[in-house]
């Protein structure tokens, strides 16, 4: 599990090592890792190191020191490195080392026009951003701000520029603890972060700016600190996942009831059902119109369908809402499922049926627009753009006021437990932003919920308190969904109805078992 700790906690963990005289050793470890990633990226881009050009951007703190020491190592590999000093008082020992290795350092103060240096950086093979680290307060200012703006104007945006940007510890200009960006930020292709992930690298705009994350162990002891944000990794999902045993039969594996779809939107139900089956459950019971059940049966004849009520369809968990629009029967089923006491995944049309207060076993899966409505219904006004800029803050607020687990969809999936625990998953690809994608996410989480509903050891397997189990289940669903989307995208634009094949393959990979033969 990736655990992100606040900048203050990382600095507190670092303090005893610095007091013991290991400050320079820590910096060398950080620099070495940064250098390794920079080298790897150059090679990946097909550029030979000898004769390549690099620009190190160094601010006044230790972040600049890390970057200069990495620059020193690049120089020794034959890379031509220039350092742009964006403060008068950069870390002296690293600057010395950099210059002794043959590096050129150029100062840039508030009065200097940055255009020539920005041109040089834009034309470089690689740029190392060591302007600001965990010591940053507020957005970039002064010469650092001018330089980054000039660099953007010349190099273009990430994706179109030719220079590879590697952030040292974090992209300069993001809020260390909240990922907020005020003003300019140097969007990185990759971020090499030291000791522990910082929350700003997983949250909101900061997550966008960070690019690929590389976490480097430099020997910090974080076990006495509480993580602010967590991200599940493959091993966590594998540990959480409920595998069938020889003693199981279909009912003990878990039955998922799905009340989704309507005559107007039948497809949403088919998508949720297909995804749930691919995730693995003992049985899917479908409740809804006969015409929708007929569509489901064309693809999945194993589904047990009825037009009855929640009380008559014994299940371990429910998934309600996708495509359930203008249908009173589906609305009633959503309400009944919400009062059943069982785990319920609540999406789309069912979000408006939420009672005043529920428990964490109720997992809401809104996108930003739906969350806006949900909050507005509780007297909390927030612009959609504000929710998108600070997903963690608003997901936590929604969890607090409803008592539910809240999964907020988007580029990063943000999951808030009413306990205050926060998970962020960044496994998806923007190719998943297509109609019907959310319906499959509902099916996946529903299936995980049904198979884990009666598993008392599930939270313990992830060393989480029991009240945070449902947030972890939602996060695991987001990981499987995102991974399946990436796998599907290898064939081209994602067609959601074909996602179940990828879901099955992703789970087989996670569990390191061969996919079931069909």
Feature table: binding site: 62-66, 129, 133-139, 169, 172, 268, 323, 367, 409-413, 438-439
Are 240 and 473 a contacting pair, CB within 8 Å? Answer: yes
Interaction of residue 134 with K ion, rule CB under 5 A: no
361 lines the binding site for ligand ADP (CB under 6 A): no
- Measured CA to CA, the distance from residue 383 to residue 318 in angstroms comes to 31
Phi, psi for 499 (deg, rounded to 5): -65, -35
Q: Which does 433 bind (CB under 5 to 8 A by kind): ligand ADP, ligand NPW, K ion, none?
A: ligand ADP
79 is an interface residue for K ion by CB under 5 A: no
Q: Is 494 in the site for K ion (CB under 5 A)?
A: no
Nearer to ligand NPW, 198 or 253 (CB): 198
Q: Give least dist CB 18 to ligand ADP, A.
A: 39
Among ligand ADP, ligand NPW, K ion, none, the one that 397 touches (CB under a kind-dependent 5 to 8 A) is none
> CB 66 → ligand NPW: shortest distance, Å?
5
199 is an interface residue for ligand NPW by CB under 6 A: no
Q: Choose from ligand NPW, ligand ADP, K ion, none: what does 129 bind? Cβ within 5-8 Å by kind.
A: K ion
Point out which span in 10-18, 281-289, 352-360, 505-513 binds ligand NPW (CB under 6 A): 10-18
CA nearest neighbour of 478 among 232, 305, 274, 278: 232
Burial of 92 (0-12, 13-18, 19+ CB in 10 A): exposed
Q: From the list K ion, ligand NPW, ligand ADP, none, which binds 269 (C-beta under 5 to 8 Å, kind-based)?
A: none
Of 160-168, 303-311, 483-491, 497-505, which part binds K ion (CB under 5 A)?
Answer: 160-168
> With contact defined as beta carbons under 8 Å apart, do 253 and 33 qualify?
no
Q: Return the number of other C-beta atoms located less than 10 Å from residue 251's C-beta.
A: 12
Closest CA to 86 of 151, 179, 4, 154: 151
CB-side neighbour CA atoms (13 Å) of 270: 20
Contact 446, 317 (CB under 8 A): yes
- Provide the angle, in degrees to the nearest 10, between the axes of the packed helices 7-19 and 23-44: 120
What is the nearest approach in angstroms of ligand ADP to the Cβ of residue 145? Answer: 28
Q: Find out whether 337 and 312 touch, Cβ atoms under 8 Å.
A: no
Question: Do 448 and 405 contact (CB within 8 A), yes or no?
Answer: no
Query: By CB under 6 A, is residue 220 in contact with ligand NPW?
Result: yes
* Pairwise CA distance, residues 128 & 395, whole Å: 34
Show contacts with ligand ADP in window 362-391 (CB under 6 A): 367
Tokens of 5: 């700790």
Contact (CB, 8 A) for 469 and 458: yes
Q: Under DSSP, is residue 232 helix (H, G, I), strand (E, B) or coil?
A: coil
Q: Which C-beta is closer to ligand ADP: that of 12 or that of 295?
A: 295
Mark residues 401-440: x for contact with ligand ADP by CB under 6 A, - for none: --------xxx-x--------------xxx-xx-xxxxx-
Smallest CA-to-CA distance from 117 within 94, 148, 140, 73 is with: 148
Give least dist CB 367 to ligand ADP, A: 4
User: Does 10 engage in binding with ligand NPW (CB under 6 A)?
Assistant: yes
If one asks whether residue 274 binds ligand NPW (CB under 6 A), the answer comes out as no
User: What mask, x for binding ligand NPW by CB under 6 A, covers residues 47 to 66?
Assistant: ------------xxxxxxxx
The DSSP H or E segment spanning 505 is helix 499-511
Distances (CA, A) of 487 to 143, 440, 484: 43, 15, 5
172 binds K ion (CB under 5 A): yes
| 168 binding K ion? (CB under 5 A) | yes
Window 141-180: residues binding ligand NPW (CB under 6 A): 141-142, 144, 168-169
Q: Are strands 405-408 and 362-364 parallel, antiparallel or unpaired?
A: parallel
Q: Which residues bind ligand NPW (CB under 6 A)?
A: 10-11, 14, 26-27, 30, 59-66, 132-142, 144, 168-169, 194-195, 218, 220
Q: Which residues bind K ion (CB under 5 A)?
A: 63, 129, 167-168, 172
Q: Which residues bind ligand ADP (CB under 6 A)?
A: 367, 409-411, 413, 428-430, 432-433, 435-439, 441, 481
């Amino acid at each position: 599990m990736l655990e992100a700790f606040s900048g203050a906690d990382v600095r507190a963990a670092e303090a005893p090592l610095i007091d013991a005289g290991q400050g320079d050793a820590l910096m060398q470890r950080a620099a070495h890792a940064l250098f390794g990633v920079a080298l790897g990226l150059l090679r990946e881009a097909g550029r030979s190191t000898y004769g390549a050009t690099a620009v190190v951007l160094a601010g006044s703190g230790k972040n600049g020191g890390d970057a200069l020491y990495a620059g020193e190592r690049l120089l020794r590999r034959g890379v031509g490195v220039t350092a742009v000093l964006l403060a008068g008082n950069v870390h002296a020992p690293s600057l010395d080392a950099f210059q002794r290795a043959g590096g050129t350092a150029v100062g840039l103060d508030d009065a200097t026009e940055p255009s020539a240096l920005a041109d040089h950086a834009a034309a470089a093979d690689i740029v190392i951003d060591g302007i600001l680290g965990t010591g940053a307060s507020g957005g970039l200012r002064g010469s650092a701000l001018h330089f980054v703006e000039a660099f953007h104007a010349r190099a273009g945006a990430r994706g179109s520029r030719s220079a590879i940007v590697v952030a040292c510890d974090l992209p300069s200009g993001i809020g260390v603890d909240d990922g907020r960006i005020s003003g300019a930020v140097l969007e990185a292709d990759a971020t090499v972060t030291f000791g522990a992930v910082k929350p700003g690298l997983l949250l909101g705009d900061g997550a966008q700016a960070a690019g690929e994350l590389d976490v480097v162990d430099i020997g910090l002891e974080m076990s006495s600190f509480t993580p602010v944000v967590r991200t599940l990794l493959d091993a966590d999902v594998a540990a959480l996942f409920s595998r069938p045993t020889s003693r199981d039969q279909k009912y003990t594996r878990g039955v998922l009831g799905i009340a989704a779809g309507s005559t107007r939107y039948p497809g949403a139900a088919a998508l949720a059902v297909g995804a749930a089956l691919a995730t693995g459950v003992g049985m899917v019971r479908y409740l809804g119109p006969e015409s929708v059940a007929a569509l489901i049966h064309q693809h999945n004849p194993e589904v047990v369908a009825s037009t009855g009520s929640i009380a008559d369809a014994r299940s371990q968990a429910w998934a309600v809402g996708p495509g359930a629009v203008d249908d009173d029967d589906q609305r009633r089923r959503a309400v009944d499922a919400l009062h059943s006491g069982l785990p319920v995944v609540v999406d789309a049309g069912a979000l408006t049926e939420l009672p005043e207060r529920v428990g964490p076993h109720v997992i809401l899966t809104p996108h930003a627009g739906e969350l806006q409505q949900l909050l507005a219904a509780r007297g909390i006004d927030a612009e959609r753009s504000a929710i998108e800029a600070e997903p963690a803050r608003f997901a936590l607020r929604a969890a607090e006021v409803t008592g539910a687990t809240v999964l907020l969809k988007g580029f990063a999936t943000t999951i808030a437990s009413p306990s205050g625990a926060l998970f962020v998953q960044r496994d998806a690809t923007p190719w998943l932003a297509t109609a019907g994608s959310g319906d499959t996410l509902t099916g996946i989480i529903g299936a995980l919920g049904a198979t884990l509903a009666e598993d008392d050891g599930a939270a313990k397997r992830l060393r989480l308190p029991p009240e945070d189990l449902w947030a972890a289940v939602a996060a695991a669903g987001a990981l499987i969904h995102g991974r399946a989307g990436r796998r599907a995208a290898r064939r081209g634009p994602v067609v959601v109805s074909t996602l179940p094949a990828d879901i099955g393959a992703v789970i087989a990979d996670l569990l390191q078992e061969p996919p079931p033969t069909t």
